[in-house]
Amino acid sequence: MGIPINGAQRVLPGLIERPGGKKVDLPADESHPEASFTEMLSSLVNNVNELHAASSDIQQAFLNGEPVELHQVMIKAEEAGIATDLLLEIRNKLLNAYNEIIRMPV
């Protein structure tokens, strides 16, 4: 497995392994200090929004007859769709966790 995308090493430390069971030493992300949960969630929403904007831009370029390949349009659309699905799953898990906490007796 290659280097994780979008800082997954912070979410899943120690779970990334090479084929054969050897753990991969990931480079430390020194460009950003530990972000708060709010900042991380806001960043995720902004990234998904940027993916949808890029998908829309490339679709419009394709429709205008610019030199854009169809497979590029489909790849951008799928990236945006998968990112949206991931965001919705994260939201669902957060809501379930919140509801569990609310139901706990005090």
Question: Model confidence over 38-94: pLDDT tens digits?
Answer: 999 999 999 999 999 999 999 999 999 999 999 999 999 999 999 999 999 999 999
pTM metric for this prediction: 0.63
Judged against a pLDDT cut of 50, whether residue 16 lies above it is answered with no
pLDDT at residue 69, as a whole number:
94
Paired tokens of 36: 């708060």
CA distance 41 to 93: 13
pLDDT at residue 14, as a whole number:
45
Residue 104 zone, left/alpha/beta (φ > 0; ψ -120 to 50; rest): beta
Spatial CA neighbour of 41 closest among 65, 64, 11: 11
Residues β-bridged to residue 55? none
pLDDT at residue 37, as a whole number:
87
Domain boundaries, the chain: 35-106
